[in-house]
């Protein structure tokens, strides 16, 4: 076996000791990364408070919404379901209708009748003017010739003349002079009955 030089062995031992000590007392320095900082100010994002929230009453299954604050001057443009919540944007001048946010229609707004909803979150609503009523696409016209074909003309007729009826004759009963001297029939019946009763009484007494 080859023999190691004692000096070389001593150098290796000392190098190993120093390497171990260096590894024990070594503390790595933190590396700082320098990034470019923005020169402008960063805007602060703040949320805007939402206004009033209304919900459809729970006792109503479906409620129609209209393009204006009236159910007969403006057409229906959609529906809301029971319990559905929508943001309220304004109120009509008479205070009966509420303008709500409704996506998918013109200007994304619609009107709902106030008693059909319940306020879920209070807020201040501006009073809004009613939009202009829609103009019908066409004005219906009636052809007088076509109407005349279905109208039956009425021919005036004279009323029947009134004929005076004959005078009413009321019958009158006159006293018959031939019956004034006769015996009344009731008195005659009473006399015959009395005679018969008297005869029956005599027969009964004779039988005793």
List the CATH number of the domain containing 94.
Answer: 2.30.30.40
In a domain, 62, yes or no: yes
Q: How would you classify residue 104: left for phi > 0, otherwise alpha for psi between -120 and 50, otherwise beta?
A: left
Tell me if the pTM is above 0.85: no
In a domain, 4, yes or no: no
Please indicate, yes or no, if residue 102 is contained in any of the structural domains.
yes
Domain assignment present for residue 108? The answer is: yes
Residue 137 CA, distance from chain mean position: 28
Q: State both tokens at 131.
A: 């939009």
Burial (0-12, 13-18, 19+ Cβ within 10 Å), 131 = middle
Q: For residue 83, give both structure tokens.
A: 């319990």
Contact 69, 109 (CB under 8 A): no
Residue 142 within a domain: no
Q: What is the pLDDT of residue 38?
A: 47
In the numeric block, which tokens belong to residue 13? 């031992």
Asked if 51 and 123 touch (Cβ cutoff 8 Å), the reply is yes
CB neighbourhood size of 66 (10 A): 19
- Asked if residue 103 is part of any domain, the answer here is yes
CA gap 180, 184 in Å, rounded = 9
Residue 125 burial by Cβ neighbours in a 10 Å radius (0-12, 13-18, 19+): middle
Number of neighbouring beta carbons within 10 Å of residue 128: 17
Give the total number of structural domains in the chain.
1
Domain assignment of residue 32, yes or no: no
Q: Which domain holds residue 67?
A: 53-121
Tens-level pLDDT at each residue, the chain (208 residues): 445 566 666 666 776 776 666 555 554 555 544 545 445 444 443 333 458 899 999 999 999 999 999 998 999 999 999 999 999 999 999 999 999 999 989 889 999 999 999 998 888 889 999 898 877 656 667 767 776 677 777 777 777 777 888 888 787 766 655 555 666 777 778 878 888 887 888 887 877 6
Q: Does a structural domain hold residue 15?
A: no
CA dist., res. 150 & res. 101, Å (int): 50
């Amino acid at each position: 076996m080859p023999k190691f030089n004692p000096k070389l062995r001593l150098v290796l031992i000392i190098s190993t000791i120093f390497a171990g000590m260096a590894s024990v007392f070594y503390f790595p320095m933190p590396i700082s990364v320098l990034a470019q900082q923005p020169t402008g100010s960063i805007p602060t994002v703040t949320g805007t408070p939402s206004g009033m929230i209304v919900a459809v009453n729970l006792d109503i299954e479906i409620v129609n919404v209209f393009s204006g604050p009236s159910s007969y001057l403006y057409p229906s443009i959609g529906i809301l379901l029971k319990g559905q919540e929508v943001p309220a944007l304004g109120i009509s001048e008479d205070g009966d209708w509420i303008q709500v946010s409704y996506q998918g229609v013109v200007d994304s707004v619609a009107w709902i009748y106030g008693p059909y909803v319940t306020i879920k979150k209070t807020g201040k609503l501006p009073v809004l003017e009613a939009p202009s009523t829609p103009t019908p696409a066409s004005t219906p016209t009636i052809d007088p010739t076509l109407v005349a074909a279905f109208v039956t003309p009425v021919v005036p007729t004279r009323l029947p003349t009134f004929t005076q009826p004959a005078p009413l004759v009321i019958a009158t009963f006159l006293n018959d002079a031939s019956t004034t001297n006769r015996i009344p029939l009731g008195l005659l019946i009473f006399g015959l009955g009395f005679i018969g009763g008297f005869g029956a009484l005599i027969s009964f007494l004779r039988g005793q």
